[in-house]
Structure 1
Amino acid sequence: MRPIREADWALFLQLHTDPNVISLCFDEPEIEVIRDKFEARLVTWSPTSNAWLCLVIIDKITDNVMGITGFIVEDNTAHVGYLLLPEFHGKQYGTESLLALLDWAESIDTITHYKAVVTEGNVSSERVLVKCGFQLQSVIPEAYEIGGKLYADHIYTRDAKVT
């Protein structure tokens, strides 16, 4: 994985517009919203920056980009997220990249917890979180709308390792 950079705009755009990626995450945003989100991810990250750490997931063998992962720290909790291109779904790349991210994040003393929000029905993302040590903390009914339908938010949490 490596930090996102300006040259990754096409990847970021695809991840935010491909129906096979976003169907259980969010409605397709306007291009300006995606661009603003992308620009915000280019900000240099530090544990106190109030910015997202956004990393591009890259296949070690082929050098192909597969998606993005990262987190933002708020009140000592790292809110994690990830999006993978459809051709990499179901191949354990989400789990592998999230485990690597969490392993690296354990060196940040200010992080005490991790949190992820998954839309109801996104079973694959829930499996990734469980494999990475997250537990379902709560369910908020009808919390999010996608395509005119209300879905529950599934809130997953994990404590940072105590050393």
Structure 2
Amino acid sequence: MKIRIESRRLSMRQLNNSDASFFKALHRNKRVTHLCFDTPTDAEIHQRFLHRLPAWHITASHWLCLTIVEKETGKKVGITGFIIDGNKAEVGYLLTPECHGYGFATESLQALLNWAKLHLSYVAFEATVTDGNTQSERVLSKCGFTQVKRVPDAYMIDGQRYDDVIYAL
């Protein structure tokens, strides 16, 4: 299944080999990851990339990972996607810092959700946000998610414990 999702300003396509350096740069940038996870090693990033690289299909056990490209410039602005577990899909996204504040996260997530609802009508959506990541919480709220749970001290980033905040749609 070749996946291409369009929105007003963005085009999203499945991750491919040409995205390796972009994927690595996103995962190495502390401005991107500081409220998501510890900066992974090059080997961990490579493993994550390889795990998301195979062609995705509805019964896949790996992430559908889409590269987000700004239509006007052709510039890669981030990645988005989900992984299905039973009747639930965990969504996620990472955007380059220079693209924060332009609504790209909201626009790309809404387009992804619209596509998924057409093709995966049985799936509910969830997102886990590290407490303090208010921008991500705003994106999820704009896309219709609501906070359903808080897990105290669930995750450690750079030696500091954070609550996980769970959102559902």
Q: Pick one of 23, 26, 51 that aligns with 1:40.
A: 51
Partner residue, 2:83: 72
Deviations 1:70-122 (A, max 9, x none): 00111111110000000001110000000000000011245330000000100
In 2, the alpha carbon distance for the partners of 1:38 and 1:109 equals 24
Any unmatched runs of 5+ in structure 2?
1-11
- Show the 5 A alignment for 1:1-163: 1-109=12-120, 111-158=122-169
TM-score, reference length from structure 1: 0.95
- Number of corresponding residues: 158
Any unmatched runs of 5+ in structure 1?
159-163
In 2, the alpha carbon distance for the partners of 1:90 and 1:130 equals 15
Answer with 102-111 or 128-137: which moved more: 102-111
Q: Is the 8 A contact 1:78 1:111 kept in 2?
A: no
Amino acid corresponding to residue 47 of structure 2 in structure 1: D
Deviations 1:103-149 (A, max 9, x none): 00011245330000000100000000000000001000100001110
Q: Is the 8 A contact 1:73 1:111 kept in 2?
A: no
Q: Is the 8 A contact 1:47 1:110 kept in 2?
A: no
Question: SS at 1:63's partner residue?
Answer: coil
TM-score, reference length from structure 2: 0.91
Q: Taking structure 1 as reference, are residues 74 and 113 closer, same or farther at Cα in structure 2, changes over 3 Å only?
A: same
In 1, the alpha carbon distance for the partners of 2:37 and 2:158 equals 8
